[in-house]
Structure 1
Amino acid sequence: MSSAEIDPVAIATAFLKQFEAATSSGDVDAFRNLFLPIGWMRDHLVFSWDLRSLEGPEKLSQYLSEAVGNQSRFAAASLHNVTLETGTTIGPITFPVPGGAPDAKGVQGPFRFELQSPAGFGRGYFRLVPDAEGNFKVFALYVTLEDLKGHEEPKERPNGLFAGHSKYWSEEKAERHAAVENDPTVVVVGGGQAGLMCAARLSRMGVHALVIERSPRVGDVWRERYPNLTLHTSAHHSSVLYHPWPQTYPKFIAKDIVADFLESYAIGQDLVVWTSSTVLPTPTYDNGTGTWTIPVDREGKKVTVKAKHIIMATGNGRSRIPDFPGMAKFKGPLYHSDKHRGAAPFAGKRAVVIGACNAGADIAQDFVAKGASEVTMVQRTATCVISAKAINIATFEAIYPETRAIEDGDLLYHSLPPRLGMRLAAGGGTARLKALDKDLHEALAAKGFKLTWELTPGGGEVGLLGFFFERVAAGSMVDVGCGQLIIDGKVKMKSGVEVDHFEEDGVVFADGSKVLADVVVLATGNLPIIENTAELFGERIKSKIGSKVWGLDAEGELTLCYRPTGQPGLWYAPGAFQHSRYHSKHLALQILAQELGIAPMPVAKAPHGSSL
């Protein structure tokens, strides 16, 4: 059906009428009949206290029919009062049917609803396509809990006048901080963007959150990174919760600006942050009281903190440093990219960068800019490359244009189940992106740069989306200039052959060739997030939650991220600005619901889709 024959509002209205008839009556069969045989539903805290993705009517029926008390979870939720949203930039509108005829169109758009259990408000997004008979069916449906009734996140500014204007702000602040420090409900480990936004969300929703940050200043996690680092995502896409970047800031923001902004964010949101502090091994959990006892080194003094919840927002694990034979013999500086503080001291020197992803590209570019006499990039495996121009067109302008409310951009982005998004990428989306970078890719390949868009050989061209969801973007590069340096010969390539060993003056490869070097940087990534768990909590806790954090589970949701982990009171909050901004709400809602007794405290068990 072409767009000329479609009235998106009429189709959306008719669908939502059928949708509400099924949800309000608890009729699972009627609900599943709204879906295509290949249809998906993504559920974030609406029908269960978890983040779930269901593919196909059979799995959908099984999930919704599960018993909650004396009725199905679908009937218990009693989703009702469904209203179509028409005042946004995200629909109802038409969209090209994936894999359909060139003029085939579907309809997509947002809606709002209420729930009976939990008593709350939610938002959703539908994608409908015509079936063989021309009836519009669900290709993808997203529903998410937004607020608990009676405990809604405030939308208005706080008054700012305390005790009838008889109390100073300094007095109010001191009282608030003392209350949080003396009786935190949540301890957030890590004061980067994810930890700060989780703390800000919890605070806004009335939950005491204490942030433990190892660095002397908030923002040091960015200050201490290599000097030419900038965000590879646009300012609007990377908006900070409640505190968007000023319009005078650049589209792609330098790491030093990010660092200072996060420091001001912690102050502006009145967050309670203990800097120069670390959580020590080993926090212990009391199953009877549901409380953690947490040893903390606070500026050199050991203190004990008790809290109901711990949120791990520490980012990636430690630097991944390969053990190449002979590394100790090399006479020049040899260090991981995490320790790169600028290439200026190496002007006139020969630099080798081992690694051909984002950090490797940035650091190679830094060496060229600061006058290194020769720069060689060692590529050990193929890299997924997309230009800044292409990702801007595909993501930042398509989903997060400056004219779109950030809440609408987030809903649109997260409304598509990740596994479905990867299939759409492999089914043509990646090919369309590659076409935008055709000249870049051909020129890089001519210089020996190895390219891939597959996570595994023959696994489909899932592209950058797949690398992000499965590997935290490891193995990919958003090209912001290094590509042209490779093409121009200013960065030489050494690819397709493994490092064999180091000698005093360079790197020797498996084919017997040698590259002379005065300095070598290991841009070899970081260890998995889960490694932090074993070090801090011990193997007993790690054994409860599984072998990984991040990466898609059996259903296609991110493993352990912003959802139950299998260990009560332990949560993970990883990800970039956009991800932590959005999912901080889901995490805060779960914690708030448990504290209010609305959601049951989970028992220790394997998370859905894990291999335990």
Structure 2
Amino acid sequence: MTLDPTEIASSWLQSYAAFLTSGNVKGAVSCLQNTGFLRDFLVFTWNNRTLHGHKEITTYLTNNLACASIADFKLETRPGLLPEIDGLNTRMVSSVANTVSAGFTFGCKVGTGRGYFFLVPTDAGEWKAISVMMELADISGHEEWIQEEGAHDGHTLSWTDVNRERRETIEKDPYVLIIGAGHSGLNVAARFKHLNIPSLVVESNLRIGDNWRKRHVYPTLHLHVPKYYCELLYHPYPASWPLYIPRDKIADWLEHYAQAEDLVVWTNSRPLPGPTYDRTSGRWTVIIDRGGKHVTLNPAHIVVAAGALGAPNIPVMENPEQFAGSIVHCADYEGGKRFTGKRVVVVGAGNTSADLCQDLSFHGAESVTMVQRSATVVVPIVLVENQIERCFRGVNTDTADFLLMAKPIPLMQQMAEENETSLVEQLKEYYQSLHEAGFKPVTNKGLMTIFYSAYGVYDVGCVDLIRSGKVKIKQGVEIARLEKNSVIFTDGSNLETDAIVLATSFGSIRDSMRGIFGDSVIDQTSQVWGLDHEGELRGVFRPSGHPGVSIVLRSLDGFADPQPLQAMVRSRRILHLKVAD
């Protein structure tokens, strides 16, 4: 029998909408499978939540449905969100058969919302949702605008004067202060601008983009995921640009982006320690060091997007002063030329380590040894590209982000687990050769592990060097102590060494912010990164625990790109700042 996805989706949405608008929680929950998911972004609560199973969803809706004032459901009519068959399989590799999926819109208490559902048939032939996502799209009074006319006051005012006045107004009294002008900080600032939320960005570097020019300085640095996965809001990368964009092009693009979006950014600026928050007025008092001049501001919210501020992680090694060679952290690595002819130990086994080992080998290091403490997820870059292409090719970025966010992370993990056996079998020889070379790969976790954990390698060439022996592996150990010309490992073995490169990541953004906000503020915030018990990211893109602080990015180990987090930055989840209050 031929399925009509529009008829199935329309019938299901009509029932689901009727139950929700009438306050019938039991009826609404009956529209989902017993093990179905409800993913809520700021609709029923001012948070991001994923509820699993009838019991959790019933409790959640019972407590929150009435105050949400849900109404006016309609099926989406925009391309990419129309009812379709097997949409779950189209966007992801899945064994779920005969799914029907569709987008929808609705109204709620504070604005308008949009959602997406995936339906599967029961044994009785009923269509029930395996997952429903509902997201706050716009806040009343702060609806997103895309472009303005450009002619001001009947062509009597110049754009230059209008733009200057806007900047001066924001600089005097920003509603939001954003710390950090990297990908996330600029994206958030652009989103707020288009929501008419006055926002000021402060960046400690002298130029926007210096976090790429200076922080990760090895010359071969480039994105490890395709460019269309890392676009910034409103400005796609040029079609002629490389698929994997080099470091310096990214740096220049960030600078261009801030100018093109008319964002208000103070460079060579940083908040001084000791800002105070008045819970009565809901305002901060914070002093900004702007190139040596102190400026006092009173924003309502501070968004921390300064992932690069974390201090380098330096492992403890006995007797470092006895070592005659050089020890350099990846933050200060300037390329492999200075290590030509030298015996180099690289500590760490994430993406950065793989890049550095490849660079050192190319530039003629006498030997390169990677120290791998535990096991590492390794995935050939072509598989990553194919997976991302499923989500982003042929679909505009906003729609692709929305569809990605529509799937609860636990559901995506389940799907990944279903395909792990076949994936591992497909890569059997690949992983076996790594084992034989002494490297320990993780083979029981899917792509989701790399996306939502702090370790992993997108293989762009280092695996071949490991398998050929050009990059040697020291596995399951750490450096215990140093001698004049060698390192001694925790298993008692030693290795003659001329230089040590530490690809050991950076400290937590919470720890780096303690020096600014103090323990009393930071201790109110939640842990950053990793998944909570519901499968939502901890501490980022959601209330932090302090009413005046939001965290939108963490510096991640082993990744040389803006991350899949860009989809979250581009989405509307940062709206939890309660700008409608």
Instruction: Normalising by structure 2, report the TM-score.
Output: 0.93
2:466 corresponding residue in structure 1? 486
Is the CA contact (8 Å cut-off) linking 1:387 and 1:437 kept in structure 2? no
The question of whether the paired residues in 1 share the 8 Å contact of 2:439 and 2:475 is answered with: yes
Cα offsets for 1:169-203 (capped at 9, x unmatched)? 33222211111110100000011000000011101
CA contact (8 A) 2:88 2:118 kept: no
Which residue of structure 2 lines up, in the alignment, with residue 353 of structure 1?
Answer: 346
- Residue 531 (structure 1) shift: 1.1
What is the aligned counterpart of 1:129 among 120, 134, 159?
A: 120
1:262 CA displacement = 0.3
The C-alpha deviation readout for 1:38-87, integer Å capped at 9, x for no partner, is: 11010111222211110111111111111xxxxx5246422323214473
Is the 1:96–1:103 Cα contact (8 Å) retained in structure 2?
A: no
Of 335, 341, 360 in structure 1, the residue corresponding to residue 328 of structure 2 is 335
Moved more, 278-287 or 168-177: 168-177
Q: Which has the higher contact order (CA 8 A, sep 6+)?
A: 2
What SS does the aligned partner of 2:521 have?
Answer: helix
Following superposition of structure 1 onto structure 2, how do residues 574-585 of structure 1 map, counting pairs within 5 Å? Answer: 574=553, 576=562, 578-585=564-571
Distance in 1, matches of 2:56 and 2:66, equals 13
CA pair 356-585 structure 1, distance change in 2 beyond 3 A: closer
DSSP-derived class of the 1:105 partner = coil
Letter in 2 for 1:542: I
Q: Using the TM superposition, name which of 207-216 and 513-522 deviates more.
A: 513-522
Q: Which residue pairs with 2:202 in the alignment?
A: 212
Paired position in structure 1 for 2:84: 92
Alpha-carbon spacing, 1:47–1:96, altered in 2? closer, same or farther (3 Å): closer
- Which stretch shifts more, 504-513 or 517-526? 504-513
Is the aligned partner of 1:238 residue 2:207? no
Partners of 1:424 and 1:104 in 2: CA distance? 9
Instruction: Answer yes or no: is the 8 Å Cα contact 1:390–1:433 preserved in 2.
Output: no
Q: In 2, distance between residues paired with 1:189 and 1:124?
A: 31
Distance 2:108 2:502 in 1: 54
Residue number among 410, 416, 440 corresponding to 2:401 in the alignment? 410
Task: Tell me if the contact between 1:219 and 1:259 (Cα under 8 Å) persists in the aligned partners.
Answer: yes
**1:21 and 2:31 correspond:** no
- From 415, 438, 442, give the equivalent of 1:448: 438
Q: Secondary structure at the match of 1:223?
A: helix
Q: Within 1, Cα distance between the matches of 2:545 and 2:3?
A: 47
Higher alpha-carbon deviation: 571-580 or 531-540 = 571-580
1:192 aligns with 2:175: no
Equivalent residue number for residue 8 of structure 1: 5
Q: How big is the alpha-carbon RMSD for the aligned residues of Structure 1 and Structure 2?
A: 2.1
Pair 1:541-2:521 in alignment? yes
Structure 1 residues 104 and 203, CA gap change in structure 2 (3 angstroms): closer
- Aligned position for 2:259: 267
SS in 1 for 2:379: strand
CA contact (8 A) 2:20 2:65 kept: no
2:544 maps to 1:565: yes
Which residue of 1 is the match for residue 360 of structure 2? Answer: 367
Displacement after TM superposition at 1:95 (Å): 5.3
Contact 2:285 2:296 in 1 (8 A): yes
The equivalent of 1:589 in structure 2 is: 575
Q: Shift in Å at residue 497 of structure 1?
A: 3.0
1:97 Cα deviation after fit: 8.3
Q: Which amino acid aligns with 1:267?
A: Q
Identity of aligned residues (%): 35
8 Å CA contact retained: 2:88, 2:101: no
Residues 500 and 150 of structure 1: CA distance in aligned 2, closer, same or farther (over 3 Å) = closer
Alignment match, 2:160? 170
Distance 1:174 1:478, change over 3 A: same
Q: Distance in 1 between matches of 2:579 and 2:398?
A: 26
For the Cα contact (< 8 Å) 1:108–1:128, is it kept in 2?
yes
Q: Is the 8 A contact 2:82 2:103 kept in 1?
A: no
Distance 2:446 2:190 in 1: 33
Letter in 2 for 1:139: I
Match of 2:475 among 484, 495, 498: 495
CA distance in 2, matches of 1:292, 1:181: 15
Q: How many Å separate the matches in 2 of 1:184 and 1:302?
A: 16
**Residue 104 and residue 553 in structure 1: after superposition, are their counterparts in 2 closer, same or farther (change >3 A)?**
closer
Q: CA deviation at 1:123?
A: 1.6
How far apart, CA to CA, are the structure 1 residues paired with 2:76 and 2:88? 21
In the TM superposition, what is the alpha-carbon distance from 1:281 to its structure 2 partner?
Answer: 1.0
Aligned to 1:309: 301
Candidates 20, 30, 33, aligned match of 1:33: 30
In structure 1, the partner of 2:386 is 393
SS state of the match for residue 434, structure 2?
helix
One-letter identity of the residue aligned with 1:596:
A
Name the SS of the counterpart of 1:544 in structure 2: coil
Counterpart residue number, 1:601:
none
1: CA distance, partners of 2:568 / 2:370: 36
Q: Given the superposition, is the C-alpha separation of residues 112 and 407 from structure 1 closer, same or farther in structure 2, using an over 3 Å criterion? A: same
Segments of 5+ residues of structure 2 without an aligned counterpart are 555-561
**C-alpha spacing 1:96/1:141, structure 2 compared with 1 (3 Å):** closer
3-state SS, counterpart of residue 397 of structure 1: helix
Tell me the alpha carbon deviations over residues 486-505 of structure 1, each in whole angstroms, 9 at most, x when there is no partner: 11111111113332211111
Residue 57 in structure 1 maps to residue 48 in structure 2: no
Segment of structure 1 superposing worse, 527-536 or 311-320: 527-536
- Per-residue CA shift, 1:586-608, capped at 9, x if unaligned? 355333xx3432xxxxxxxxxxx
Q: CA deviation at 1:89?
A: 6.8
For residue 315 of structure 2, what is the aligned residue in structure 1? 322
What whole-Å deviation, never above 9, does each CA across 1:135-170 have from its counterpart, x for those lacking one?
A: 221111111111134432013x21122333333333
TM-score by length of 1: 0.88
Alignment of 1:98-109 (within 5 A): 105-109=97-101
The residue identity in structure 2 corresponding to 1:390 is: L
Larger deviation, residues 354-363 vs 129-138: 129-138
Structure 1 pair 475–111 and aligned structure 2 pair: CA distance change class (3 A)? closer
Q: Deviation digits for residues 391-433 of structure 1, max 9, x if unmatched? A: 1112x211111x211112111211111123223323x233344
The answer to whether the 8 Å contact 2:86/2:99 transfers is yes
Q: Deviations over 1:466-502 (max 9, x none)?
A: 3432x3xx22111111011111111111113332211
SS of match in other structure, 2:225: coil
